[in-house]
Structure 1
């Protein structure tokens, strides 16, 4: 039976474990249909493109704009570029999130800067006209809430990609490149409880005022965020159906 692969790119492996659980629930798949590889400790398997119907890439404290990068981060970025390139060629399906959108933007020849950060919060996201026609984003409606927490962002939609969603703080919140590569700046997978729990791992890393931890966490827990997980669910259905139909 075909399965998907979750790629963890968080050095904090406990945070990656919780993130993988969030992805599984949002995708709506059984535990044995979402495998896991942590790229911070393990290279992308050589047979990954033959084994999996599609890939979902989690978030990370890494930044594409980091001036000094460890060997681990450089290796992670190279593996993510391999997946993005294969999806661009139609050889697989992939959904990149948070840090991953920067990797894809750079690969496509776009610019990533620190001009469009967003603190940890439930942000209003607006779909574009192209987003309204997209099979994943169209059903989400013209406006929805999604969780954000990032220090960098794409300056504009990169060459060859179609802008699907944005907002005032960060104009590039989501895009599609080709038919099989999706990338979001926001986090599509966590529930409010998941996101509030994730904050514990990153309390002093610059995504929110650590002195306001409880206030920010309470606001997260009180938010209503449902559409991003449905977007991810539609991606999973599409990837598995494509594989069953012999799409690669």
Structure 2
């Protein structure tokens, strides 16, 4: 099997490694089947798409809708590299799955409105599939409504006409969409279970995402949820596109 490519941009090793392990576990992949490139550490190398089954973009501390002057040099580089890669992926309708940061990257590339109108706090949310979502093969076997973990400052306010809306929540109108046949983006985290969220809360408690003193409450809140369905997105994506 050709490997999948995971493009990561979390600077903290513990968070990056936990994310990678989650994609392995829920994608049903061995390490040789998921190559990781950490974009925050070095420029994106030259890629021959013929070497890969598909491309996955993980979560990120970067926010696409930040003003240019508020972005670091690393963020500007990562955005340029992802935009150039998406030029190639969209032209070929090459399998792509962007999780959380995928909405900002693929959405911006395709002309969606990405802003801070529909942010959601860290925790569990109820996701509802659209009729198109229920019919999509990457959402195969999933109920119309399920719980997923999310937490984001920005979101998609409006999709371009050629995009297909697949999922939403009460507070966020776009939680998953598709471009062409094979390119997907989710706002919720398909790799994140209860233990994973608790790990991230602990790692990021002093990173400015939330008041440090609220970390224990956020962890306790996470334990109130049962999150099992979103991971099917990863396994369905792998099963559909592995070659």
| Aligned equivalent of 2:188 | 186
| Aligned equivalent of 1:124 | 126
Q: 1:162/1:91 Cα in 2 relative to 1: closer, same or farther (>3 Å)?
A: closer
Report the Cα offset of residue 157 of structure 1.
2.2
* Equivalent of residue 236 in structure 1, options 231, 238, 242: 238
Is residue 150–residue 188 contact of structure 2 (8 Å, CA) maintained in 1? yes
1:17 and 1:82 map into 2 onto residues whose CA distance is 26
Q: Deviations over 1:105-141 (max 9, x none)?
A: 1111111111111111011000001111111124211
TM-score (norm. length: structure 2): 0.93
2:212 and 2:56 map into 1 onto residues whose CA distance is 30
| Aligned equivalent of 2:136 | 134
* Equivalent of residue 80 in structure 2, options 71, 78, 81: 78
Report the Cα offset of residue 11 of structure 1.
2.2
Q: Deviations over 1:163-219 (max 9, x none)?
A: 000012111100000111100011110221011101122224454443221121122
1:124 and 1:234 map into 2 onto residues whose CA distance is 20
Report the Cα offset of residue 91 of structure 1.
5.0
Is residue 80–residue 100 contact of structure 1 (8 Å, CA) maintained in 2? no
Report the Cα offset of residue 149 of structure 1.
0.9
* RMSD of aligned residue pairs (Cα, Å): 1.6
2:51 and 2:112 map into 1 onto residues whose CA distance is 30
Structure 1: gaps (5+ residues): none
Is residue 119–residue 207 contact of structure 1 (8 Å, CA) maintained in 2? no
Structure 2: gaps (5+ residues): none
Alignment of 1:8-87 (within 5 A): 8-67=8-67, 68-87=70-89
Is residue 155–residue 187 contact of structure 2 (8 Å, CA) maintained in 1? yes
What is the count of residue pairs matched by the alignment?
Answer: 241
1:228 and 1:193 map into 2 onto residues whose CA distance is 14
Q: 1:82/1:203 Cα in 2 relative to 1: closer, same or farther (>3 Å)?
A: same
